[in-house]
Structure 1
Amino acid sequence: MTVLHERRPPADPATRAAAVRAAARRMRLHVLNMGEVQGQGYVGQALGVADMLAVAYVDQLRLRPDDEHWPERDRFLLSTGHYAIALYAALAEAGTIPVEELETYGSDGSRLPMSGMASYTPGMEISGGSLGHGLTVAVGMALGLRHQGSDARVFTFLSDGELDEGSTWESAMGAAHHRLGHLTAMVDMNALQADGKTDTVMRIEPAEDKWAAAGWFTQRVDGNDVEALLAAFDAAAEQAAPAGRPSVVLCDTRIGRGVPLLETREKAHFMRIDPDEWELCRRQLAEGDS
């Protein structure tokens, strides 16, 4: 069976970055194609985090695409279940689900529901969606893997809105207390949530200081800068260990990244896109640099 990203010395930085950037572009196109099936959805977030997920699935995670239950795999937990459209694009890029299956997104009987469900989708580790739970599950999973003697790493994906939740910070303190050095959190800092701008709903800054005070190895980068993302996740990997500091990478992203029409859309949390706009979106993506 093919193993992606076995623990090995990294390839040439320029080669790695080019591979991630190409994958992210394909993932954005997958997102647009899936979004057109429903005519609406969390398309803006998915476009914004494509670079983050491309780094994870193309460069970092140890996986067997044809064996989703391989015991030695790294775990990727999507806490933000409404970002499922983004994860499906990544899973297709990794080879876990067929690209052709993406056209069933959100349809009756599909394995790709609009909110992520572990019971339906290959490669989906948890059913996310009730925000603030993903990091808690990741802490328990990381503890369990350590007790089993596994060197598998646990990655969990959160949104900045989840930093409003007390359970997130309780889990963050618990991870540091138990020295879960093989746990990495990646946070989409897109500054928007369902009720409005994040800083007006609940001020979370200075986010870096809070994570560092909780005992985490903390980095903050431009989440749409592939080279910066690779450097940050390499730094997290270098200090990963069964017992050590957990890592967090705070990623400032732009909703709608790569499609100017959607980058400037006023109501961007849940987008409704007119039928005649989808082809324009694809054309802008093809013409752009993302």
Structure 2
Amino acid sequence: MQPDDLNRIAKQIRLRDLQAVFEAGAGHIGGEMSSIDVLTALYFRVLRIWPDQPKHPERDRFVLSKGHVALAFYVTLAKRGFFPEDEISTFLKPLSRLNGHPNCNKVPGVETNTGPLGHGLPVAVGMAKAAKIRGAGYHTYVMTGDGEMQEGSNWEAISSAAQFGLNNLTLIIDHNRFQQGAALKDTNNLAPFGSKLASFGWDVTEINGNDMSEIVPALEKRTAAPHCIVAHTNKGQGISFMQDTVDWHHKVPNAEQYKIAVAELSETL
């Protein structure tokens, strides 16, 4: 798919995500909106996957380490054909398999359970190392939040990936500059990330993480070392009153706000 096609799908995913948050009365909409462009590029262009065979041994692996944005992941998986799109309406309802964090035992396409921050990257390092040991050809991708990079387990994993020469591993940092309750710069600001990852021996690419023309080539890039993509994104991307506002980490729009957001996301669809 070309960037225009991917942008159209990303808008559709954003709109369905918004509707589901409003209907459920819960979600992490700010970080969902910032990550959707990368998720769209992965699932509709980059990943080698078979939705009808979610455990195909040759599939590429994707780990959503920032598991609190599970809804954006669910909408993407459903739209790609891993399960029926109408199941999104069950998000957070009793007995639904679409919980607030992804569960690999219940949801097709989910590689590992995530939610406790700092766990996804270490697991992805293990997946990439396993591929090296077995001589498998799959590539492993993992997305973390920028606030999540404050977890020490991530830096142990970063060191290990370089030591093991895991050039079959791509880390995407969703650098939207906000975490729960505060801006990144007002908490434990580890930015800039690029120079730090490079000092560990990683190849680093910095992009506009809401621009498909930059996202796609970065995701498709292959390097001699583990690859980190620092994706500079906007919290609440695509919805004017949410963008770059810490309140929208997990705030739910009221009826008037919902109407405005639907109108904005529906433009050019």
TM > 0.5? yes
CA drift at 1:261: 2.7
Larger deviation, residues 195-204 vs 209-218:
195-204
Please tell me whether residue 168 in structure 1 is matched to residue 148 in structure 2: no
Which of 140, 143, 166 pairs up with 1:154? 140
Larger deviation, residues 167-176 vs 254-263:
254-263
CA drift at 1:265: 4.7
* 1:96 corresponding residue in structure 2: 82
8 Å contact kept, 2:90–2:96: yes
**1:66-124 alpha-carbon deviations (Å, 9 max, x no partner):** 11111110000111110101111210221112111111111111121112222221111
Please tell me whether residue 230 in structure 1 is matched to residue 210 in structure 2: no
CA drift at 1:50: 1.1
Matched residue of 1:41: which SS?
Answer: coil
Please tell me whether residue 246 in structure 1 is matched to residue 226 in structure 2: yes
* 1:283 corresponding residue in structure 2: 263
Matched residue of 1:261: which SS?
Answer: coil
* 2:243 corresponding residue in structure 1: 263
Please tell me whether residue 36 in structure 1 is matched to residue 22 in structure 2: yes
Matches of 2:145 and 2:247 in 1, distance apart?
A: 18
Please tell me whether residue 202 in structure 1 is matched to residue 188 in structure 2: yes
Matches of 2:238 and 2:268 in 1, distance apart?
A: 6
What amino acid is the match of 2:18?
A: L
CA drift at 1:272: 2.3
What amino acid is the match of 1:119?
A: N
Matches of 2:245 and 2:199 in 1, distance apart?
A: 36
Give every structure 1 segment of 4 or more consecutive aligned residues whose post-TM-superposition deviation is greater than 4 Å: none
What amino acid is the match of 1:272?
A: V
* 2:49 corresponding residue in structure 1: 63
Unaligned runs of at least 5 residues, structure 1: 1-14
CA drift at 1:27: 0.8
CA drift at 1:276: 3.7
**Cα distance change of structure 1 residues 63 and 266 upon mapping to structure 2, 3 Å threshold:** closer
What amino acid is the match of 1:144?
A: A
8 Å contact kept, 1:190–1:253: yes
The structure showing larger relative contact order (alpha-carbon pairs under 8 Å, at least 6 residues apart) is 2
Root-mean-square deviation over aligned CA pairs: 1.5
What amino acid is the match of 1:286?
A: S
Matched residue of 1:188: which SS?
Answer: strand
**1:180-235 alpha-carbon deviations (Å, 9 max, x no partner):** 1110011100111114111111121221100111111101111111101112123x
8 Å contact kept, 2:182–2:246: no
Please tell me whether residue 141 in structure 1 is matched to residue 127 in structure 2: yes
**1:11-45 alpha-carbon deviations (Å, 9 max, x no partner):** xxxx5112211111111012012112212320111
Matches of 1:114 and 1:203 in 2, distance apart?
A: 27
Matches of 1:102 and 1:218 in 2, distance apart?
A: 35
Unaligned runs of at least 5 residues, structure 2: none
Alignment of 1:73-112 (within 5 A): 73-112=59-98
Q: Among the aligned pairs, what percent are the same residue?
A: 31
